[in-house]
Amino acid sequence: MLIGIVSVYAAGFNEDNISIFDFANRSGLQILWVGVACLIAITTMTIESRFYNLFTGFFYGFMLLLMVVTLIFGKEVNGNKSWLSFGPVGIQTVEFMKLATALLLAKTMSAYGFKMANMKDFLQVFLIVLLPFGLTLLQHDTGSALVFSSFIIVFYRAGLKPWIVVSCIFLVFLFILALLVEPYGIVIIMGVTCIGIFVAMTRKYRAALILMGIITVITLALHLGLAQLDIYIDLYESLLIAHAAVIPLGIIYAFWRKIKSVLLIIGFFIISIGTTYSVDYVFDNFLQEHQRRRINDLLGIESDLRGWGYNVHQSKVAIGSGGFLGKGFLEGTQTKGNFIPEQSTDFIFCTVGEEWGFLGAALVVGLYLLLLARLLNVAERQKSLFAKLYGYGVVSIIFFHIFVNIGMTIGIMPVVGIPLPFVSYGGSSLWAFTILIFVLLNLDVSRYE
């Protein structure tokens, strides 16, 4: 088991060295951080395992307090107010907040009589996640805040109803759809989808055809017909009115034929349209300018390769130019030329992709998958529920980091500043991940006690 960790560790350390070869002090520092991390690992292992269970609540509370302190007295780095300085050393408190949250979640959910399906219990754990999430958002560290959403994996494993997970995924899908497609397009897509679901569930083709016919006729009548009388209603509104008009028909039909699913489908349709409608509002009013741009860039809606699209474009260029075998250690033209911002921290994967090519990048990705698989295994074999749930928490956090970080360097995720575990430069994240894993190992060692 250790081999997996050590190899990723070694690989990570190596890559780190490459990318920051020019900045001797940075790679030097990273070696120092690794040394400290080893000490931390040993300490973590030697502590009595019950300690973690017992002091979880206190630790969580302390971290929350520290988060608030950071928010007030913190140092601003790149627009994020997430750093707390102790003299010369800066600590990113949120990295440890993740650990505390994972622990407290495990403790709460392993309590006797806890049931995910129970509304009160659910709200309790939801709150545990929501508090640090909110504080992180206030620190303008969206990336780290999103990490907390990864605990949905823990919830799911503990018995969260699948439809909630599915609707969450569906919401993300709707969000993207709403940004990509014109409003009338969404109405058409959703309308067709709903009628499709209806047909799939009831096999009533004729009713479906009639329904579609009615909607089409009303839409065309409103949009084109009234135009002859100099009354102009745009396509989106015409479609909405047409759909609104057939909804009562649908309800009547549902009661007449006693088909309950029709009501569900209608509800689904209304909620979906409502959601997409609100997406534009959220997008335009809640997100910051740079976040909007990053999402637009990712979805290919608009881009500016010299401005805000620069990072991702350069990152893709660096990775893409690696080819199959890469350019070799220290031979990367892009990384050597410092074209990519933040290449020793968030965009570290570029170095791997460029210098070691597809082979190296795939190998690193494979090692990560191996690590996750090992961690999952470790989690599953735990006797105590606390240790098992904590294990899932670790898996969730690490998975989210890997997925989003690598995803953004190759342009399938929007750019958010979260590090690649064990590889990115930075003391806090390295130590936090070390503790995260070694606490699990500690629990694992003592699993037969």
Partner 1 sequence: MNEFANRKIYITGFFVLVFAIIVGRLFYIQIVDSYYKRTADQNAMRYEYQYPARGLIFDRNGTLLVGNQTVYDIVVIPREVAAFDTTALARVLGMTEAQVHSTLNAIKAAAKKNAAYQPALFCRQVSTEAFALLQEKWFKFPGFYAQARSIRAYPRRLAGNLIGYIGEADTASITADPFYIQGSFMGKIGIERSYENALRGKRGLTIYMRDKLNRVRDRYAGGAYDTVAIPGANIVCTIDADLQEYGEQLMQNKVGSIVAVEPATGEILTLVSTPNFDPELFIDVHRAGERNALALDPLKPLFNRAVMAQYPPGSIFKCVNALVGLQEGTVSVNTTHACDGGYYFGNRRVGCHRHASPLNLIQSLQMSCNAYYCHEFRGIIDKPEFGSPQAGFAAWRRHVESFGIGQRLESDIPNELRGLLPTAASYDKMHGANRWKSATILSLAIGQGELGVTPLHMANLAATIANRGYYYTPHVAKSIQGGKIDRRFLTPHTTTISREHFAPVVEGMYLAVNGDVGSTARWTKMPDVPICGKTGTAQNPHGEDHSVFICFAPKDNPKIALAVYVENSGAGASWAAPTASLMVEKYLKKAVTRKWLEGYVMNANLLPQNTQNGAAKKQ
The footprint of partner 1 (CB under 8 A) covers 153, 156-159, 314, 316-324, 333-334, 336-339, 353, 357-358, 361-362, 365-366, 368-369, 372-373, 376, 380, 385, 388, 395, 399, 403, 406-407, 410-412
Q: Is 30 helix (H, G, I), strand (E, B) or coil?
A: helix
Residues 75 and 84: beta-carbon distance below 8 Å: yes
Residues 84 and 90: beta-carbon distance below 8 Å: yes
Residue showing tokens 């997406």: 279
State how far the Cα of 182 lies from the Cα of 27, in Å rounded to an integer: 48
Triad 167, 273, 228: Cα angle to 5°: 160
Task: Give the nearer residue to partner 1 in terms of CB position, either 87 or 162.
Answer: 162
State the minimum distance, in angstroms, from the CB of residue 125 to partner 1: 13
State how far the Cα of 318 lies from the Cα of 410, in Å rounded to an integer: 10
Residues 80 and 67: beta-carbon distance below 8 Å: no
Cα 290 vs. chain centroid, distance in angstroms? Answer: 18
Task: Give the nearer residue to partner 1 in terms of CB position, either 141 or 346.
Answer: 346
Task: Give the nearer residue to partner 1 in terms of CB position, either 157 or 293.
Answer: 157
State the minimum distance, in angstroms, from the CB of residue 309 to partner 1: 13
Task: Give the nearer residue to partner 1 in terms of CB position, either 177 or 361.
Answer: 361
For 310, residues 6+ apart whose C-beta sits below 8 A from its C-beta are: 304, 341
Task: Give the nearer residue to partner 1 in terms of CB position, either 293 or 388.
Answer: 388
Task: Give the nearer residue to partner 1 in terms of CB position, either 148 or 155.
Answer: 155
Enumerate the β-bridge partners of residue 84.
91
The alpha carbons of the chain give a radius of gyration, in whole angstroms, of: 26
State the minimum distance, in angstroms, from the CB of residue 27 to partner 1: 18
Task: Give the nearer residue to partner 1 in terms of CB position, either 156 or 236.
Answer: 156
Of the candidates 186, 69, 64, 71, the one whose C-alpha atom is nearest the C-alpha of residue 132 is 64
Evaluate the CA torsion angle 219, 223, 224, 227 in order and state its sign.
positive
State the minimum distance, in angstroms, from the CB of residue 354 to partner 1: 8
- Name the strand (E) or helix (H) holding 89: strand 89-92
State the minimum distance, in angstroms, from the CB of residue 332 to partner 1: 9
- Name the strand (E) or helix (H) holding 92: strand 89-92
Task: Give the nearer residue to partner 1 in terms of CB position, either 166 or 227.
Answer: 166
What is the number of other CB atoms lying within 10 angstroms of the CB of residue 270? 15
Please give the structure tokens belonging to residue 401: 């980091």
Please give the structure tokens belonging to residue 250: 């649908």
Task: Give the nearer residue to partner 1 in terms of CB position, either 83 or 339.
Answer: 339
Helices (H), 286-384: 289-298, 310-320, 333-336, 348-380
State the minimum distance, in angstroms, from the CB of residue 376 to partner 1: 6
State the minimum distance, in angstroms, from the CB of residue 359 to partner 1: 9
Q: Is 384 helix (H, G, I), strand (E, B) or coil?
A: coil
State the minimum distance, in angstroms, from the CB of residue 53 to partner 1: 17
State how far the Cα of 83 lies from the Cα of 431, in Å rounded to an integer: 15
State the minimum distance, in angstroms, from the CB of residue 418 to partner 1: 15
Task: Give the nearer residue to partner 1 in terms of CB position, either 149 or 338.
Answer: 338
State how far the Cα of 86 lies from the Cα of 15, in Å rounded to an integer: 29
Task: Give the nearer residue to partner 1 in terms of CB position, either 386 or 425.
Answer: 386
State the minimum distance, in angstroms, from the CB of residue 336 to partner 1: 7
State the minimum distance, in angstroms, from the CB of residue 389 to partner 1: 8
Residue 117, classified by CB atoms within 10 Å of its CB into exposed (0-12), middle (13-18) or buried (19+), is: exposed
